[in-house]
Amino acid sequence: MRCRLFCAAVLRRVSSMRIAAPSFIKRADRITNVRFLQEFVDEVELLYMSSLYEGDEPDPAEVAELAATGMRFNVHMPYDIDLSKKENWAVIERYAELLLPLEAHTHTLHIQKEDSFFEHLINFIAKTDLPVTLENGGDDANLFGLIPNEPVWICADLGHVLHYGGTVEDIIRHWGRDIGLIHLHGSDGMRDHQSLKYIDKNTLRLIKNFAELQELTVCVEVFEENAFLESLDILLSL
């Protein structure tokens, strides 16, 4: 597989699609993962999943070390807080401030249905001038229709779409021009965030062709080294 991945990596350099991976492929800290991933991907999705977990807030020393790698980043903001409540946006603002040195190309939030969520989102963008993408966190891609006419892009988690029985064709047809980032992972019928071997090759080709046409980042959102390498090999060999 390593030989095939090396050949595929050469092809990746001439592709208009960028490939990303989350910052926890190995059971190690973010900087260890980023250094490992530099061989394989164009971009790393920095995961900050829990605002309540002590130690998960961005550390300025770690951020400086990450910035020094020269890697391109996107940031997954914490999703464990209700962002329909104004006071919780202070957490997002704090994360955004600490992560500024990375110049991330986007900051991803899980979409919510409440009107107040979008009101606070618009205020956040006006205040920070940061790029933002809104992700379907589960079986809720229909909420993309609520996104206001503001500088907000869609993070289409196609792994979630497929896991819940949706189709990639529908997402691309309805939201294609507004997609700024793709999350991709397989489902074994019980769990998602599995290897891409569980996704039909024709579906993967459709996603890859769309991402290349739109010059998008596709994040292979699996969290285990062997499954990641297998998935990368599958995607790049199409």
| 48 pLDDT higher than 80 | yes
* Residue among 211, 24, 157, 180 nearest 104 (CA): 180
Domain count, the chain: 1
| 11 pLDDT higher than 50 | no
| 164 pLDDT higher than 90 | yes
Between the CA of residue 220 and those of 40, 63, 201, what are the distances in Å?
Answer: 11, 22, 15
Q: What is the rounded CA–CA span in Å between residue 213 and residue 216?
A: 8
CATH of the domain at 44: 3.20.20.150
- Are 230 and 1 in contact by the 8 Å Cβ rule? The answer is yes
Here the tokens at position 164 are 């819940």
pLDDT at 191: 96
User: Between these two residues, 14 and 174, which has the higher pLDDT value?
Assistant: 174
Locate all alpha helices (DSSP H) within the chain, ordered by sequence.
Answer: 2-13, 30-37, 60-68, 89-99, 115-128, 158-163, 168-175, 201-214, 225-236
Enclosing domain of residue 195: 2-236
Tell me which residue has tokens 């933002």. 132
- The average confidence (pLDDT) of the chain is 93
User: Between these two residues, 52 and 131, which has the higher pLDDT value?
Assistant: 131
- Are 184 and 160 in contact by the 8 Å Cβ rule? The answer is no
- Rounded to the nearest 10°, the torsion over CA 224, 225, 226, 227 is 40
pLDDT at 54: 65
User: Between these two residues, 12 and 77, which has the higher pLDDT value?
Assistant: 77
Q: Max alpha carbon distance in the chain (Å)?
A: 51
pLDDT at 199: 98
pLDDT at 55: 66
Region of residue 102 (phi > 0: left; psi between -120 and 50: alpha; otherwise: beta): alpha
